[in-house]
Chains A and B, each alone.
Chain A
Amino acid sequence: MSKPLPLFTRAFVDSWRATLGWAAGLAAAIFIYLPLYPSIGASPEMQGLMDSFPPEMIKALNYDQITSGPGYTQATMFGLIGFLLMTIASVAWGAAAVGGDEESGQLELTLAHGVTRTQVVLERALAILARVLLLVALVFVLIRLLTDSAQLNIRPENLFGASVLFAGLAMLSGSTALFAGAVTGRKTYGLAAGAGVGVLGYVFNAVGRQSTDVDWLLNLSPYSWAYGNNPVANGADWAAAGWLWGISAVLVALSAVALSRRDVGT
C-alpha cells in the first residue's frame, strides 16, 4: 500500500542532484575561505589593511572582527558566501514547492489524487527543511574539521548555535517564498518575496550598523537578529533563533491555509 509521506519523499529524493550541487558549492566555499585564515585574517598585514579601509565599509561587510578566527568564519562563511548560497537554495525550493509546481501545471494532477492541500504544503515544506538541515549539518561538520588546521579557535557550542541561526535565516527566506507562491500560484512572486527578505535583511543590517540614527533598521533585519551579536564568537541569541524559526513555521501554516482556500491552476 502507500508509503508514508509520499510527497515529502518525492520532493526530497527527486531533487538529490540539486541538493548535491548546493552541498558541493558550500563545501568548496568552506575549503577555499577557511584554510586561508592563518595567512589572511590572522596576519598583521590584514590588520593594517583593515585600518586603512573606511570604517563604514568594514561595518557593512561585517569585517570588524575579521582578524579573529570566529569573526573571520562569521563574516566570510555564515555572513556572506554561505548566507548567499543557502538563501538562494532555500528560496528556489520554496518558490518551486507550490507556485512553481502550479505554474508548470503539475500541481493540478497531484491535487486530483488522494492528498489534501495542507498535506501538500506541509510535506513539501518538510522537504525544504530536510534539505536545509542537511546542508547546514554539512557546513557544521566541515568547519569543525577545519577548526584546528585553520587555527579558527571556534568553540563547538558557538558553532552549533551559529548553525541553528544560519539554518533559521535560510528557512525564513524559503518559507516566505513558499508563502508567496502558495498565495499567488506564481513562481516569480515566490522568488521575489524570498529574495526580498534575504536582500533587505542584509541591506538593513549594513545600513543600520552605520550610525545610531538608523539603527532601528536593525530591528527589521532578520540578518541582524541572527548575526547581530556575532554568534560564532559569542554564542547564539536563542531568542532570535526562536523568532526566525517561529516566523518560518507561521509562514508555512499560512501557506497551507492560502492554498486550501483558492482555485488552483487558473
Chain B
Amino acid sequence: MNMNTSIQQRFRLPVLVWVLLGLMGFSFVVAMVRYIVGIGAISDLSNSYPWGFWISLDLFTGVAIGSGAFVIAAIVYIFELKEFQPLVKPAVLTGFLGYIMVVVSLLVDLGHPERIYYMLIHTNHTSVLLEIGICVMSYLTVLAIEFSPVVFEGLKWDKWAHLIHKFIMPFVILGVVLSTLHQSSLGSLLLIESTKLHPLWWTSILPIMFFVSALAIGLGMVIFESTLSSRYFKRGLESHLLEKLAKAIPVILAIYLVLKFGELIWAGDLHYLFTSGTMSILFWAEILISSVIPLVWFSIKRLRENPNSLLTGAIILLLGMIFNRFNVSWFAIQHPDPTTYIPTFMSNVKYIPTIPEMAISIGIFSAGILAFGLAAKYLPVFEDEPHPGSTPAGD
C-alpha cells in the first residue's frame, strides 16, 4: 500500500502538477498582455460578439457545474437525508473553487476589473447582471462558511468547526435561495436578447429552464466528481448513494423536456424545429445529449448500479447541459453588426475564439484542479480518510 502511493507520487503526480502549473503560467502571461494592451489583443471578441468563450465557459458553464453544492446541501440538511453526508464536503469544495474560478475569469473579461465592487455601490435594480453579481458574491461567502469546518478540522480547531456546524442551517437555506436566484438569473440574463437569441432557445421561462437543468447538472456533478476523486485518491466509492441520486435525474429531465417542448408549442415555435438549418441541428443534438439519452440511461437500473456506466451517464448529461449553455449564450445568438448587419438569423459576423483566449480559461481551470487536489490531500474533505494532520503526507 505504502509502496503504491510512493510510486504514484514519484511518477504521476509531479507530471500532472507541472503541466497544470505550466498552463497557469501561460494564462498568467496572456492575462498580463490583456491588461496592458486590451481585450482585443488576445481575443476575437468584437463589437458584434461582446461576449464569447469566457462567458459561455467560465460564467455559464462554471456556475452551472457549481450547482452540485446547493443540491447536495439541500438534500442533506433541508430534507435531512443524512446518509448522503459523505458527499457534502467534496461538493461544497467543488462549488467553492468553481465560483472562485468564475470570479477570477470575470476579472479578465471585465473592462474595469478594479471596479467590480461598484456593483455594491451603484446599484441598478432593473439589471439582471446586478442580481447575478450580488448573488455570486454572497454565495461565495456562504460556500466559504459551509466549507470552513473542514479547514478548522484540518487545523484541529475543533471548537470553531463545532460552532459553525451548530449554526449551519441558516447558511444552507441562504445558500439554496441564492443558488436558486442566480442559477435562474443566468437564464434571465438572456431575456433581454429576445431579438438576438434564436426562438428555439428564447422563451420567457428561460429562468425556470435554467433552474431545472441546474438541478440535473448538480446531481450529475456530484456523481462525476465523487467517482473521479474516489479513483484518483484511491478511496471507497459511495456507489449505493450515487445510485440513489441518479434515480432522481430521469424525473428532473422529464420535467425539463415537458417544459421545453410545452413552451415551444405554446409559443407556436414548433416549426423552427426543422426549418432553421444549423440552429435546428444544434437544438436536436443538445436535446438528445442533454436530456433524452441521460433520461433513458439513468432509468435503467443495471446502468445505474455499475460505477463505470454511472460515470459515463453523468459525463453525457454534463456535456449535453454544457452544450445547452454554449447554445444559449453563444451559438444561437446572432449579434447584429451595424456596419455589415444582415438582419437574418444567420448574420455574417463570425467569432472564433483565439488560443490565448482559451488559454485563460484553461489556466484558471488548471488552478482549480490543483487547488482541489491540494485541499483533498491536506484537508479532511473525504469522510473515510483519517485526519491527515496525524500523518503528514509524503512520508
The answer to whether A and B belong to the same complex is no
Question: Which residues of A line the B interface, CB within 8 A?
Answer: none
